[in-house]
């Protein structure tokens, strides 16, 4: 296997390199081009029917609105004659699939569940600009116009850096709020109040310190009804970053110098990484203390695991996405209450997990047109109302007009409810106010930063690493990733 | 890479020039020195051509990517950056830690599966009644998709509803095994051991049937000396088949990562982040880090080739294996 | 299996061995049994912190799997096609190449054998990325032929490896006798060697089938919504309103049962197949 072979394999290598170059030259990309606005030929003048007969694919995280839509596609198919196949999977998988699909040069998935942080920001080049479609007279107009979408959500889920482009329309709006078992607090409330000196029932005035104290009290006094006072979503997973962010912001910390202002449109220059600040360390220290009293399996739970545990009656309260309300209502009808998250020294922060749906930039012709009709339909007030009442999930409307419908208003806080997720509406609407909402920085590197954040936190929680050292390591690695 | 890989494509490349029909009629005695214009080689040609395309093209792509910054959105593009990816990967402490973890994982699963597999094989061999029923049950896990095995493990160990978790809680082991860095890796190892010990046992059982009954008899009669007989007499006779089992398992232990993905996906605190998970992260989660993924891929390939070399050196000593004959007479 | 029982094994092993055998069977079988039961449990019997075996069996999980928004039927068809085609190709080419390799008299034989083996050992994670880039250039991403090709990347070397071992077992005298009769090498292969290796072919086919059917990593990176295979459905069942363990168990049953049956059917040959497989090196 000496020099002779080497020469040959070198030649092969060159040949391989050449064919490789040819392979890469195949790329036919359309980045930066204006999205086309194809006109369909079917349907005899009905703009909804013009792409009749087309089949499109919709890839989505397995969220309740998508479950509701997947289970109730018939109205759309009747309206348009378009067949929609919905694929639902965990968010991690959606991110991977989109990355592969956008890279493949073709469009396997036409409609994309574009998580603003994990898909929109890092892969904006793979998504079509929706403005030309919105402005074109070829399609039915968006009902009630863009103004009907809650404005912060339209920006946070739809735009990235360039305000002239719109990549997605707000599709769902999960936001973390405090979920608690009313029945347990009714039973133990008076005793706990006597012991602790304040009303333990979660309310809009609760602080994180009080939350911690109540958790401990439950651990010590309520074992016969519930295993632990609180749980957390502290698996080495995106969920851990989300759970921690609430605490970080409420303690006055943030990931970047430009802080919350990065949440809406995002930026290529977010400023210095500030996560290692004293506020960051204080937040980490508190979060670690919190996890010491939380259900010990918390470090294996993401949001789904936490919701499962809550529904199984393992914990009395926890912060989680509000759209889990529907499942909780099934398990404990009328017994689950919702409140704002506890207050920290600086503010109160509720991480916003809303997502828009957009269109794959590789989609062309009828498929592009059909995808746009679907995006339009899926985010319309009527569809959001339908999702709210769905048996398999329950949507989280992104339109002001839906929350104002009398039939929706009537369901707020009711049990049994036609629209179980609306039980949380009062709390969620407060959580969305500018001073209460928590927004992650929208930067292209977010997935990597996210991984650094939840990995370091996981080390702190499970290996007993020092909070200050944890935040310093996080800061240092995040800086490196931003270079 | 290795010398072994270098020779192969050269031979295959020429294959295409040899039409099978003519090769079939080629003279039998005076073979061309390289054995390329033979009937036998013509038979290998289609398969080797497919394999060539499926292994060498990716290999070259991998090398090219490892020296470049790769963008894939809106068309694939490579910007060559010299050895940047290599120095970044080789200088990354977290990656070395991941290698160490991978080695521990690899040695643990292969070692445990060999030991337990031997134990299971010995028991089954001694079993008089219902041997084939027990064997059938024991074999089942290996036919299950690894990703489902991982999910099944998660289900059995779920601290809220899992059967095994409840049993463990019953005996006072209330901690969630996948939650703590000290137990997560051992737990994943034991899930893998559950799935693949049957295969090792099956192979070793075949080896045991080839050991002369008298030897085994001597071992069983003298209970106290059983272990000694096992180590000093039976195992040496089974050496070739043990190596077979070792090769079969090592091969897949390096390859698969489905179980880890389905259970912890690297956590907690990176305790189960073995190299394939790390690679996956670079390639499919992070932005524009395919170059680093390629570097990791190449180092993994090198590792597996070295392993194969080592094993084949063992086999090289033994031209044939007598064991396993009992198998298909049943 | 030939059972030559050592007569004296009676003494101490009479109780110990069956006891150990039971332990082993429970260890291997219990999780599978539990999965099987879970597949027939209603959701309330699954989501309880007291695992139970008393419940009213239901087919709801299976019904939900194939009806509703889960599209498992389409996945099943893809799985059947990909597994079937890739297995047939792997076995046919594997038989030819395995035979060729066994009888090939060349000083490169060992190198080729090693190269074949090493392609089977290549870590999946390492292969996925370049395979994706290559398939993208060839327009094979998200296609059934692409997936078949991807599965060949591990099944073809495996088939060659195994088949060459089976061919090597055929006594040389048989082969030579055929040649003396005036057979061409091709006829000898077809009429003498191939029939004698029947057990090997079945074993190889079943093992290739199992690997292809159970593959998750390749199909998750290279298949799209229209080409996803059955194990992919597992990911889709981890839903946000909780992991639906009932559905997942039902899926596992659907995925596992065909493989379990096939695997057990060739159990005997499996032993000799796998144990002989490794002599290819020489």
Subunits with at least 3 CB pairs below 8 A relative to chain B? A, C
Q: What is the pLDDT of residue A289?
A: 96
- Same domain, yes or no: C274 and C152: yes
Q: For residue C96, which residues of chain B lie inside 8 Å, CB to CB?
A: 43-44, 46-47
Q: What is the pTM of this model?
A: 0.80
How far apart (Å, rounded) are the C-alpha atoms in residues B25 and B8?
A: 24
Q: Which tokens hold the place of B234?
A: 């039976």
The residue with greater pLDDT, C3 or A468, is A468
Q: Which fold has domain A43-174+354-404?
A: D-Maltodextrin-Binding Protein; domain 2 (3.40.190)
Q: For residue B283, which residues of chain C lie inside 8 Å, CB to CB?
A: 125, 128-129
Subunits with at least 3 CB pairs below 8 A relative to chain C? A, B
- Same domain, yes or no: B176 and B246: yes
Q: What is the pLDDT of residue A236?
A: 84
Q: Which tokens hold the place of C234?
A: 């597992």
Residue A207 pLDDT exceeds 80: yes
Nearest neighbour of A62 by CB, restricted to C68, C221, C239: C239
Residues 6+ apart with CB under 8 A from C164: C97, C98, C99, C101, C102, C113, C280
Q: Residue C1: inside a domain, yes or no?
A: no
Q: Residue B118: inside a domain, yes or no?
A: yes
**Cα distance from B315 to chain A (closest Cα, Å)?**
21
- Same domain, yes or no: C75 and C47: no
b or e along A396-415 (b: 16 or more beta carbons within 10 Å of the residue's beta carbon)? Answer: bbbbebbbebeebeebbeee
Closest chain C CA to residue A394: C241
Q: Residue B83: inside a domain, yes or no?
A: no
Instruction: Please judge whether B199 and C274 are an interchain contact, meaning their C-beta atoms are less than 8 angstroms apart.
Output: yes
How far apart (Å, rounded) are the C-alpha atoms in residues A443 and A449?
A: 9
Best of C64, C69, C75 to substitute, by most chain A Cβ atoms within 10 angstroms, is C69
Q: What is the pLDDT of residue A359?
A: 96
Could you tell me which residues are beta bridge partners of residue B318?
A: none
Residue B186 pLDDT exceeds 70: yes
Q: What is the pLDDT of residue B34?
A: 59
Least confident of A87-91, C4-8, C266-270: C4-8
What mean pLDDT is predicted for residues C222-226? 83
Q: What is the pLDDT of residue A440?
A: 94
Residue A311 pLDDT exceeds 60: yes
Those residues of chain A whose CB sits closer than 8 Å to some CB in chain C are 23-24, 26, 57, 59, 61-64, 67, 70-71, 85-90, 93, 96, 100-101, 103-106, 108-109, 303-304, 307-308, 311-314, 323-324, 326-327, 392-393
Q: What is the pLDDT of residue A338?
A: 94
Q: What is the pLDDT of residue C280?
A: 36
Helix (H, G, I), strand (E, B) or coil at C209: helix
**Are the CB atoms for B66 and B291 separated by under 8 Å?**
yes
Tell me the pLDDT band of A33, cut-offs 50, 70 and 90.
low
Going by DSSP bridges, is the β-strand pair B77-80/A55-61 parallel, antiparallel, or unpaired? Answer: unpaired
Q: Which of residues 52-91 of C touch B (CB under 8 A)?
A: none
The residue with greater pLDDT, A22 or B253, is B253
Best of C65, C126, C158 to substitute, by most chain B Cβ atoms within 10 angstroms, is C126
Q: Which fold has domain A176-351+432-482?
A: D-Maltodextrin-Binding Protein; domain 2 (3.40.190)
**Cα distance from A316 to chain C (closest Cα, Å)?**
16
Q: What is the pLDDT of residue C12?
A: 55
CB proximity C138 to B under 8 Å: no
Residue C239 pLDDT exceeds 90: no
- Same domain, yes or no: C206 and C230: yes
Specify burial of residue A55 (Cβ count, 10 A radius: 0-12, 13-18, 19+).
middle
Q: For residue A63, which residues of chain C lie inside 8 Å, CB to CB?
A: 240
Which domain, by its residues, includes B323? 89-328
Q: For residue B179, which residues of chain A lie inside 8 Å, CB to CB?
A: 296-300, 462
- Same domain, yes or no: C126 and C189: yes
- Same domain, yes or no: C128 and C223: yes
**Cα distance from A176 to chain B (closest Cα, Å)?**
23
The residue with greater pLDDT, A374 or A125, is A374
Instruction: Please judge whether C216 and B330 are an interchain contact, meaning their C-beta atoms are less than 8 angstroms apart.
Output: no
Q: Which tokens hold the place of B108?
A: 């643990």
Q: Which of residues 139-198 of C touch B (CB under 8 A)?
A: 149, 152-153, 156-157, 160, 184-186, 189
Q: For residue A100, which residues of chain C lie inside 8 Å, CB to CB?
A: 132, 141, 221
**Cα distance from A105 to chain B (closest Cα, Å)?**
6
Question: According to the 3-state scheme, what is the secondary structure of chain A?
Answer: CCHHHHHHHHHHHHHHHHHHHHHHHCCCCCCCCCCCCCCCCCHHHCHHHCCCCCEEEEEEECCHHHHHHHHCCHHHHHHHCCEEEEEEECHHHHHHHHHHHHHHCCCCCCEEEECHHHHHCCCHHHECCCHHHHHCCCCCCCCCCHHHECHHHHHHHHCECECCCCCCEEEECCEEEEEEEHHHHHHHHHHHHHHHCCCCCCCCCCEHHHHHHHHHHHHHHCCCCCCEEECCCCCCCHHHHHHHHHHHHHCCCCCECCHHHHCCCCCCCCCCECCCCHHHHHHHHHHHHHHHHCCHHHHHCCHHHHHHHHHCCCEEEEEEEHHHHHHHHHHCCCCEEEECCCECCCCCCEEECCEEEEEECCCCHHHHHHHHHHHHHHCCHHHHHHHHCCCCCCCCCCEHHHHHCHHHHCCCCCCCCCCHHHHHHHHHHHHCCCCCEECCCCCCCHHHHHHHHHHHHHHHHHHCCCHHHHHHHHHHHHHHHHC
**Are the CB atoms for A359 and A379 separated by under 8 Å?**
no
- Same domain, yes or no: B131 and B259: yes
- Same domain, yes or no: C147 and C115: yes
A357 φ, ψ (degrees, to nearest 5): -115, 140
Residue A199 pLDDT exceeds 70: yes
- Same domain, yes or no: C264 and C211: yes
- Residue range(s) in chain A whose domain bears CATH number 3.40.190.10: 43-174+354-404, 176-351+432-482
Instruction: Please judge whether A308 and B73 are an interchain contact, meaning their C-beta atoms are less than 8 angstroms apart.
Output: no
Closest chain C CA to residue B28: C185
- Same domain, yes or no: C79 and C56: no
What mean pLDDT is predicted for residues C43-50? 78
- Same domain, yes or no: B240 and B103: yes
Least confident of A465-469, B118-122, C71-75: C71-75
Residue C8 pLDDT exceeds 60: no
Q: What is the pLDDT of residue C68?
A: 63
A416 upstream amide cis, omega within 30 of 0? yes
Closest among A407, A426, A428, A429 to A417, alpha carbons compared: A407
How far apart (Å, rounded) are the C-alpha atoms in residues A334 and A414?
A: 8
Least confident of A334-348, A433-447, C188-202: C188-202
Q: What is the pLDDT of residue A220?
A: 95
What mean pLDDT is predicted for residues C69-88? 89
- Same domain, yes or no: B54 and B106: no
Residue B140 pLDDT exceeds 80: yes
Instruction: Please judge whether C241 and A314 are an interchain contact, meaning their C-beta atoms are less than 8 angstroms apart.
Output: no
**What's the total number of domains in chain B?**
2
Closest among A326, A357, A89, A351 to C241, alpha carbons compared: A326
Q: What is the CA radius of gyration of chain B?
A: 24
Instruction: Please judge whether C141 and A106 are an interchain contact, meaning their C-beta atoms are less than 8 angstroms apart.
Output: yes
Tell me the pLDDT band of C238, cut-offs 50, 70 and 90.
low
Q: Residue B311: inside a domain, yes or no?
A: yes
| Mean model confidence pLDDT for chain A | 88
Q: Residue B112: inside a domain, yes or no?
A: yes
Helix (H, G, I), strand (E, B) or coil at C83: helix
Best of C225, C226, C236, C238 to substitute, by most chain A Cβ atoms within 10 angstroms, is C225
Q: For residue C175, which residues of chain B lie inside 8 Å, CB to CB?
A: none
**What's the total number of domains in chain C?**
2
**Are the CB atoms for A82 and A76 separated by under 8 Å?**
yes
Nearest neighbour of A393 by CB, restricted to C141, C228, C241: C241
Which domain, by its residues, includes C74? 70-281
How far apart (Å, rounded) are the C-alpha atoms in residues C281 and C244?
A: 47
b or e along A450-472 (b: 16 or more beta carbons within 10 Å of the residue's beta carbon)? Answer: bbbbbbbbbbbbbeebebeebbb
How far apart (Å, rounded) are the C-alpha atoms in residues C94 and C155?
A: 9
Q: For residue B166, which residues of chain C lie inside 8 Å, CB to CB?
A: 49-51
Percent of chain A scoring above 90 in pLDDT: 59
Least confident of A3-7, A61-65, A369-373, C239-243: A3-7
What mean pLDDT is predicted for residues C9-36? 83
Q: What is the pLDDT of residue A241?
A: 96
C71: left (phi over 0), alpha (psi -120 to 50) or beta: left
- Same domain, yes or no: B50 and B112: no
Q: For residue B286, which residues of chain A lie inside 8 Å, CB to CB?
A: 447-448, 451
Q: For residue B10, which residues of chain A lie inside 8 Å, CB to CB?
A: 5, 8-9, 12
Residue A474 pLDDT exceeds 90: yes
Residue B240 pLDDT exceeds 50: yes
Give the number of C-alpha atoms closer than 13 A to the C-alpha of residue A36, restricted to the C-beta side.
14
How far apart (Å, rounded) are the C-alpha atoms in residues B259 and A430?
A: 42
Q: What is the pLDDT of residue C270?
A: 73
Taking only the tens place, the pLDDT of each residue in C100-145 is 988 888 888 888 888 888 888 888 888 888 898 888 888 888 899 9
Q: For residue B44, which residues of chain C lie inside 8 Å, CB to CB?
A: 96-97, 100-101, 104, 112
Q: Which string of DSSP letters, residue by residue, matches C108-125?
A: THHHHHHHHHHHHHS-HH
Q: Residue B75: inside a domain, yes or no?
A: no
Residue B16 pLDDT exceeds 50: no
Least confident of A314-318, B23-27, C160-164: B23-27
Residue A407 pLDDT exceeds 70: yes
* CA-CA-CA-CA torsion sign (A87, A88, A94, A97): negative
Residue C281 pLDDT exceeds 50: no
Closest chain B CA to residue C127: B58
- Same domain, yes or no: B217 and B291: yes
Could you tell me which residues are beta bridge partners of residue A339?
A: A178
Residue A437 pLDDT exceeds 90: yes
Instruction: Please judge whether B327 and C231 are an interchain contact, meaning their C-beta atoms are less than 8 angstroms apart.
Output: no
Taking only the tens place, the pLDDT of each residue in C250-280 is 999 988 888 888 888 877 777 666 655 444 3
CB proximity C15 to B under 8 Å: no
The most confident of A136-140, A471-475, B91-95, by mean pLDDT: A471-475
Q: What is the pLDDT of residue C70?
A: 66
Residue A249 pLDDT exceeds 70: yes
- Same domain, yes or no: B130 and B34: no
Q: Residue B71: inside a domain, yes or no?
A: no
CB proximity C67 to A under 8 Å: no
Residue A409 pLDDT exceeds 70: yes
CATH number at residue B193: 1.10.3720.10
Q: What is the pLDDT of residue A55?
A: 92
Residue B64 pLDDT exceeds 70: yes
Q: Which string of DSSP letters, residue by residue, matches B186-255?
A: HHHHHHHHHHHHHHHHHHHHHHHHHS-HHHHHHHHHSGGGHHHHIIIIIHHHTHHHHHHHHHHHHHHHHH
Give the number of C-alpha atoms closer than 13 A to the C-alpha of residue C163, restricted to the C-beta side.
34
Tell me the pLDDT band of A292, cut-offs 50, 70 and 90.
very high
Taking only the tens place, the pLDDT of each residue in B40-50 is 888 899 999 99
ipTM for this prediction: 0.86
Q: Residue B11: inside a domain, yes or no?
A: yes
The residue with greater pLDDT, B191 or C241, is B191
Helix (H, G, I), strand (E, B) or coil at C238: strand
What mean pLDDT is predicted for residues B233-258? 82
The residue with greater pLDDT, B188 or B215, is B188
| Mean model confidence pLDDT for chain B | 78
Tell me the pLDDT band of B27, cut-offs 50, 70 and 90.
very low
- Same domain, yes or no: B226 and B286: yes
How far apart (Å, rounded) are the C-alpha atoms in residues B281 and B290?
A: 9
Q: What is the pLDDT of residue C176?
A: 77
- Same domain, yes or no: B27 and B135: no
């Amino acid at each position: 296997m000496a020099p002779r072979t080497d020469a040959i394999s070198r030649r092969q290598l060159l040949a391989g390199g050449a064919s490789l170059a040819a392979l890469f030259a195949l790329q036919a990309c359309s980045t930066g081009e204006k999205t086309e606005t194809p006109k369909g030929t079917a349907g005899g003048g009905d703009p909804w029917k013009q792409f009749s007969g087309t089949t499109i694919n919709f890839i989505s995280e397995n969220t309740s609105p998508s479950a509701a839509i997947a289970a109730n596609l018939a109205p759309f198919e009747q309206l348009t004659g378009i067949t929609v196949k919905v694929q639902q999977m965990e968010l991690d998988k959606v991110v991977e699939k989109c990355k592969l699909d956008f890279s493949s040069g073709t469009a396997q998935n036409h409609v994309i569940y574009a998580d603003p942080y994990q898909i929109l920001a890092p892969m904006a080049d793979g998504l079509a600009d929706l403005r030309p479609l919105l402005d074109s007279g070829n399609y039915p107009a968006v009902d009630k116009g863009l103004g009907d979408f809650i404005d912060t959500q339209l920006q946070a889920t739809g735009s990235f850096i360039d305000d002239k482009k719109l990549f997605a329309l707000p599709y769902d709006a999960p936001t973390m709020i405090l979920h608690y078992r009313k029945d347990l607090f009714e039973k133990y409330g008076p005793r706990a109040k006597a012991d602790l000196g304040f009303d333990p029932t979660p309310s809009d005035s609760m602080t994180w310190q009080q939350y911690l104290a109540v958790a401990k009290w439950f651990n010590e006094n309520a074992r016969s009804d519930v295993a632990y006072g609180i749980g957390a979503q502290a698996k080495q997973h995106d969920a851990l970053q989300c759970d921690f962010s609430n605490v970080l912001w409420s303690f006055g910390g943030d990931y970047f110098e430009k802080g919350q202002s990065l949440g809406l449109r995002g930026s290529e220059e977010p400023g210095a990484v500030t996560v290692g600040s004293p506020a960051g360390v204080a937040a980490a220290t508190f979060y670690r203390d919190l996890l010491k009293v939380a259900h010990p399996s918390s470090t294996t739970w993401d949001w789904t695991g936490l919701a499962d545990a809550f529904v199984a009656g393992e914990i009395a309260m926890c912060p989680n996405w509000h759209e889990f309300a529907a499942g909780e209502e099934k398990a404990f009808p009328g017994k689950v209450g919702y409140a704002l998250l506890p207050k920290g020294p600086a503010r109160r922060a509720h991480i916003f997990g809303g997502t828009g749906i957009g269109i794959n930039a590789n989609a062309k012709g009828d498929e592009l047109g059909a995808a746009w009709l679907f995006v339009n339909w899926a985010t319309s007030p009527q569809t959001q109302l339908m999702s709210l009442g769905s048996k398999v999930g329950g949507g989280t409307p992104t339109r002001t007009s839906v929350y104002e419908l009398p039939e929706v208003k009537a369901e707020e806080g009711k049990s049994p409810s036609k629209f179980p997720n609306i039980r949380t509406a009062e709390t969620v609407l407060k959580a969305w106010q500018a001073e209460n909402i928590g927004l992650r920085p929208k930067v292209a590197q977010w997935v990597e930063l996210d991984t650094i954040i939840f990995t370091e936190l996981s080390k702190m929680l499970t290996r007993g690493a020092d909070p200050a050292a944890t935040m310093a390591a996080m800061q240092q690695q995040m800086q490196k990733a931003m270079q | 890479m290795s010398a072994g890989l270098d020779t192969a494509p050269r031979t295959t490349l020429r294959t295409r020039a040899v039409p099978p029909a003519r090769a079939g009629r080629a003279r039998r005695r005076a073979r061309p020195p390289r054995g390329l214009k033979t009937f036998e080689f013509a038979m290998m040609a289609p398969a080797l051509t497919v394999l060539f395309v499926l292994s060498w093209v990716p290999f070259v792509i991998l090398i090219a990517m490892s020296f470049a910054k790769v963008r894939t959105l809106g068309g694939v593009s490579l910007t060559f950056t010299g050895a940047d990816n290599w120095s970044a990967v080789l200088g990354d402490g977290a990656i070395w830690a991941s290698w160490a973890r991978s080695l521990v994982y690899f040695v643990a699963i292969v070692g445990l599966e060999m030991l337990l597999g031997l134990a299971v094989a010995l028991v089954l061999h001694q079993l008089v009644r219902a041997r084939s029923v027990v064997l059938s049950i024991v074999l089942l896990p290996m036919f299950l998709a690894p990703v489902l095995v991982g999910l099944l493990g998660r289900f059995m160990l779920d601290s809220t509803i899992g059967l095994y978790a409840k049993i463990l809680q019953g005996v006072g082991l209330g901690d969630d095994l996948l939650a703590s860095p000290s137990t997560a890796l051992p737990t994943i190892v034991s899930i893998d051991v559950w799935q693949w010990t049957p295969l090792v046992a099956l192979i070793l059982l075949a080896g045991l049937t080839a050991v002369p009954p008298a030897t085994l008899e001597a071992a069983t009669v003298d209970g106290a000396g059983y272990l000694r007989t096992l180590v000093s007499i039976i195992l040496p006779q089974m050496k070739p088949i043990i190596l077979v089992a070792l090769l079969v398992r090592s091969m897949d232990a390096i390859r698969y990562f489905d179980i880890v993905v389905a259970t912890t996906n690297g956590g907690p605190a990176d305790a189960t982040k073995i190299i394939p998970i790390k690679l996956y992260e670079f390639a499919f989660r992070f932005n524009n880090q395919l170059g680093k993924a390629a570097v990791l891929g190449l180092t993994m390939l090198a590792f597996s080739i070295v392993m194969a070399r080592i094993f084949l050196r063992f086999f090289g000593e033994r031209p044939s294996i007598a064991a396993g004959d009992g198998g298909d007479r049943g | 299996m030939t059972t030559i029982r050592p007569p004296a094994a009676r003494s101490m092993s009479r109780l110990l061995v069956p006891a150990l055998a039971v332990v082993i069977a429970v260890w291997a079988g219990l999780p599978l049994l539990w999965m099987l039961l879970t597949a027939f449990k209603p959701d309330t019997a699954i989501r309880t912190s007291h695992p139970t075996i008393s419940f009213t069996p239901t087919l709801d999980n299976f019904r939900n799997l194939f009806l509703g928004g889960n599209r498992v039927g389409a996945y099943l068809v893809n799985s059947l096609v990909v597994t079937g085609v890739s297995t047939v190709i792997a076995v046919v080419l594997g038989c030819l190449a395995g035979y060729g390799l066994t009888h090939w008299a060349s000083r490169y034989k060992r190198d080729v054998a090693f190269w074949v083996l090493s392609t089977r050992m290549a870590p999946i994670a390492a292969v996925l990325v370049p395979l994706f880039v290559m398939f993208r250039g060839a327009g094979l991403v998200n296609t059934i032929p692409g997936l078949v090709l991807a599965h060949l990347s591990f099944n073809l070397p495996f088939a060659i490896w195994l088949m060459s071992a089976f061919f090597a077992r055929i006594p040389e005298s048989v082969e030579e006798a055929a040649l003396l009769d005036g057979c061409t090498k091709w006829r000898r292969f077809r009429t003498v060697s191939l029939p004698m290796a029947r057990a090997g072919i079945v074993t190889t086919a079943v093992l290739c089938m199992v690997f292809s059917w159970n593959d998750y990593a390749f199909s998750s990176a290279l298949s799209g919504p229209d080409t996803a295979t059955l194990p992919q459905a597992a990911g889709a069942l981890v839903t946000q309103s909780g992991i639906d363990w009932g559905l997942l168990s039902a899926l596992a049953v659907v995925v596992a049962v065909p493989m379990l049956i096939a695997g057990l059917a060739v159990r005997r040959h499996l032993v000799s197949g796998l144990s002989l497989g490794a002599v290819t090196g020489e």
